[in-house]
Amino acid sequence: MNHSQAFDPSLHEPGSAAAQGRCSHHAGSDADCAGDAVVSFQAGEGRWESGCSLALEQLVESGDIEPLGQGA
């Protein structure tokens, strides 16, 4: 399970979609996206990504991250 927390733009690469408060999880895909980032989470290789509210639901359901407020 990957580390996650409430969205924090300082965790993301400057100038990236995530640092600008957009959902990087859905970027470049045809998936539905709820827009603004609400969660920051570590993806592969320790890279931080951001997710909208829909991405948060999807990631929790798939077991990739814990619901916000549930982790250590």
Q: What are the tens digits of pLDDT across the range 13-35?
A: 999 999 999 999 998 787 788 88
Report the share of the chain in percent with pLDDT over 70.
94
pLDDT over 70 (residue 71): no
Q: Do residues 48 and 32 lie in contact, with contact meaning Cβ atoms separated by under 8 Å?
A: no
Q: Whole-number mean pLDDT of the chain? A: 89
State whether residue 14 is helix, strand or coil: coil
H or E segment at 60?
Answer: helix 53-61
- Residue 37 CB: number of other CB atoms within 10 A? 27
User: In this predicted structure, what is the pLDDT of residue 22?
Assistant: 94
User: In this predicted structure, what is the pLDDT of residue 39?
Assistant: 97
User: In this predicted structure, what is the pLDDT of residue 72?
Assistant: 46
